[in-house]
Structure 1
Amino acid sequence: MKKAVNSLIKKSLFLGGCFLLSFYPGTKLAAQYVGGSSRSALDDTVNLSLQESVKQYTYLSEQVPKDQLPRTYIDGQVMSVSPYAWISGFYPGSLLYLYEFSRDSILLKEANNKLVQLEKLQTVTANHDLGFMMYCSFGNAYRLFQKPEHKAILIQSAKSLASRFNPKVGCIESWDEIKSLDGKRMLDFPVIIDNMMNLELLFFASKATGDPYYKDIAIQHTDKTLKNHFRKDFSSYHVVAYDTLSGKVLSRETHQGFSDNSTWSRGQAWAVYGFTMVYRETGNKKYLKAAQRMADFYLKHENLPDDMVPYWDFNVNQEGYDPVWNYDPAKYPEIPRDASAGAIVASALLELSGYVTKKKSQYYSSAAEKMIASLSSSNYRAPVGTNGGFILMHASGGVPGDVEVDVPLSYADYYYIESLMRYQNLISDKSIEK
């Protein structure tokens, strides 16, 4: 299997967490099993959703300040952030995906304007989210246009990210300073599960430069995460804090989940996506096995709603799980959903389905289809001209801190668009095979 994967990688273009290509390892395998009696209807839904997403982001671009990037839409107002925010790369990345689909010059112009604003981030060392910020933006730009200056920016960004690696711990530090989660607990060298998503920038840098250092760091971080961030059932912890002298685990906690021992749905989504990507980049079967176990936990959980768009945490209000921070369950008669987690997992499953057996491929691709169908319905996808220009509704950022609960979010849109593009790519490959 490893030889087969490596052979496919050599023959294919590169697909990153933020990359879409005409063919990626396993696509033809997955394309054989994407489908069912409702496939044709979903094909139409996906195409329509992309068409309307182009219109929606054209509208959104008119709401965004020239020096800012959109984050969410609350109380009738688009909330924007500076380029230094961790979510800054998602908007230009979404624009580039939609340009790829539509060839709309307005979207490309807007994306290029935002890329100029992000260039200065390549030397930032105080943020572990450079993968999100630079790879989802400049990574897509480089894939589409192959500009040397974009490649150089990505390599410098990887150098900046690598500066946060601690060889004693074997991980990239997530937060610069010791963080207080609830005013009482303090964390030393915290590493969050989200960090798996930033490793792809390092893999890219090793391929672009021929220097294995970046890839080696990414693998060390992955191995340490696999060892310490998961329970026996492959559910994930949000935060693991390490001692910088011994490298030992000090605590396992949460910052955005319901409880220290609960499973925050978007954290589990980052894990499924991240380990699938690392398998693609390394061909190491232990990462493929781990990704499947993480995906299976997610898909088979008794608290996953029928429409397969998860609650913000799998264990909200359950016995044995005590809420942290100032979360008040009584404030939310209905447990908030997180469409961003659903979009991330849908995109990840489409790729994962290409690396596994026929039976598992059918299982994962079918689950992804159901998620995409749900997210594309009027229950989650906003009509054009509404929702401030954002595509999806009902995402949740930081529920424990009562921040961005049941609102649109830029990263929910990004991974939703990516899932649509990946789905179309699979169908296109199947059509070619015929």
Structure 2
Amino acid sequence: MTTRTPTALGAGSFEPPASLCAAAERAMDAAQAKVDRLVTAHPDYFPLYTEQGKWHHPKEAWTNWCEGFLGGQMWIFAETTGDPLWRGRAEHYSLLVEERKHDRSVHDLGFVFWPTWKRWYDLTGDSSRNDVVVTAGKTMGLRYNPTGRYLRSFLAPDSLFIDIMMNVGIVLYAAQHSGDEALLALAHEHCRTTRRHLVRGDGSTAHEGIFDVHTGEFLRQSTQQGWRADSSWARGQTWALYGFGTCYALTGEAQYLDTSIACADYYIDCTTDQLVPPNDWSEPRPRLPYESSAAAIAASGLLQLADLVDEQRAVRYRHHAFSTLERLCHESFLAGPDDPWEGLLKHASYHEAKGLGVDESVMWGDYFLVEALHKVLGGTRTAAAIRTPSA
């Protein structure tokens, strides 16, 4: 299957307001202070979420998927500041996760290697760094169920998660950079299966799909973190928004762009001027009003999508992203550098049903906020962030 790099149709339109740029600078300073304190107090430690505002605690992880987000922030700090301290830390924390390139137990290797080794490669052009990314993508491909045509979740062989759309990009990338047509085909099949069974006609998404592992028959939608199987878990919605956009940027497949647009429009229509969603919009009496990590992911995903669509949509997506980021940079959500709260972004939740990291900071929330602010301040954009092989 032929691949191409799509034109960034919306690039350059609707610049961020000065107030957001100033807030972004302050937030990036706070982020550096938070990460510096974390790695000084707990070197070589990879937290997922805070407990009463503290990163170091003995509570359950559920699954092993967040190790790339700490190093990913360091790579952004290194690029932003040019400080060799951050560059050294970024390399060190990337090396700590290198052996995960062979980890067949999770569906999250994109989360581990895209923020770390992919950024390392983009900064240096060193092919040995890219080899690690490609190996991780090939390992992810081993999760493929050929009867159901999906990459199975960590939870069970019959389970497909919407989250995997944020990780299948590393499989597509590995296939393109290794010339592996079979790997490329299965990655596309996963995207199409997800689109067919987890993305609904109104652009909303289910968290999980359950299949017959022997026949490949799709059985039902389900959820692990949303309110009900037929509702839309907000963070899952943003994984789809961002993930399908990335897959379009990698391949030029128009159906992926259409899906990302549908998911983005549903997200914006549900979130409206509140800007920060609850855990699930359908829940009649949500436990908490906000799940801020979903908003941070959406902001970064919308900024990517704005570079890939026509001007009218680009303006809408940037406006919502900029408004969201101004909200997240307000003191009601952002912990300042002198705040004893150890995370950066407050009012996020990991797993409400399990009571893990509820109304806390989460490492991916901090990372995607930093990533989005980096884009606002002129950092890496879609065309530079995603390389396809010249061949």
Q: TM-score, normalised by structure 2?
A: 0.90
Question: Any idea what the Cα deviations from partners look like across 1:64-96, whole Å, max 9, x if unmatched?
Answer: 243x212222135323799x8211111101111
Question: What residue is the counterpart of 1:47 in the other structure?
Answer: 25
- Counterpart of 2:279? 312
Match of 2:205 among 236, 244, 252: 236
Equivalent residues of 2:292, 2:346 under 8 A apart: yes
- Indicate the percent of aligned positions where both proteins have the same amino acid: 25
Runs (4 or more) in structure 1 with deviation over 4 Å come to: 426-429
Alignment equivalent of 1:367, drawn from 299, 311, 320 = 320
C-alpha distance in 2, partners of 1:258/1:211? 40
Query: Corresponding residue for 2:374?
Result: 421
Provide the C-alpha distance between the structure 1 equivalents of 2:162 and 2:320, rounded to a whole number of angstroms. Answer: 23
Confirm or deny that 1:392 pairs with 2:352: no
Equivalences for residues 8-407 of structure 1 within 5 A: 25-26=7-8, 29-35=10-16, 39-66=17-44, 68-75=45-52, 77-79=54-56, 85-175=64-154, 177=156, 189-301=158-270, 304=271, 306-317=273-284, 332=287, 335-386=288-339, 388-407=341-360
Structure 1 pair 75–390 and aligned structure 2 pair: CA distance change class (3 A): closer
Structure 2 contact 27–336 (Cα < 8 Å) conserved:
no
Distance in 2, matches of 1:59 and 1:388, equals 11
What do the CA deviations read for 1:304-331 (whole angstroms, capped 9, x no partner)? Answer: 263401111111226xxxxxxxxxx6xx
Q: CA deviation at 1:176?
A: 5.2
When residues 272 and 100 of structure 1 are mapped into structure 2, their CA distance, relative to the original with a 3 A threshold, is: same
Measure the CA separation in 2 of the matches of 1:427 and 1:271.
21
Partners of 1:103 and 1:342 in 2: how far apart? 28
Q: Deviations over 1:358-404 (max 9, x none)?
A: 22111111001001111111111101043554211111110112111
Cα shift at 1:45: 1.8
2:385 match: none
- Decide whether the 8 Å contact of 2:199 with 2:206 is kept in 1: yes
Distance in 2 between residues matched to 1:48 and 1:310, nearest whole Å: 24
| Shift, 1:405, TM fit | 0.5
2:348–2:358 Cα contact (<8 Å) kept? yes
Q: In structure 2, do the counterparts of structure 1 residues 387 and 142 end up closer, same or farther at CA, with 3 Å as the change threshold? A: farther
Cα RMSD of the aligned pairs, angstroms, is 2.4
Tell me, in whole angstroms, the C-alpha distance in 1 between the residues paired with 2:344 and 2:356: 19
TM-score by length of 1: 0.81
Shift of 1:336: 4.1
Does structure 2 conserve the Cα–Cα contact (< 8 Å) formed by 1:263 and 1:313? yes
SS at match of 1:259: coil
The residue type equivalent to 1:132 in the other structure is F
- The unaligned stretches of length 5 or more in structure 1 are 10-24, 178-187, 319-328, 430-434
Count of aligned pairs: 378
Letter of the 2:306 counterpart? S
Amino acid at match of 1:31: G
Q: Report the CA distance between 1:338 and its aligned residue.
A: 1.1
Following the alignment from structure 1 to structure 2, what is the Cα–Cα distance between the partners of residues 104 and 86? 28
Could you report, residue by residue, the CA deviation over 1:231-271 in whole angstroms, capped at 9, with x for unpaired residues?
Answer: 22121110101112221112211100111211100000001
Secondary structure at the counterpart of residue 66 of structure 2:
coil
Equivalent position of 1:182 in the other structure:
none
* 8 Å Cα contact 1:63-1:78 kept in structure 2: no
The alpha carbon displacement at 1:428 in A equals: 10
What secondary structure does 1:235 align onto? Answer: coil
Question: 2: CA distance between counterparts of 1:61 and 1:110?
Answer: 9
* 2:53–2:342 Cα contact (<8 Å) kept: no
Aligned-pair CA distance for 1:280: 1.1
CA contact 2:206–2:222 (8 Å) conserved in 1: yes
Deviation of 1:57 after TM superposition, in Å, equals 1.8
- Could you report, residue by residue, the CA deviation over 1:388-430 in whole angstroms, capped at 9, with x for unpaired residues? 542111111101121110100100011111111112228999x
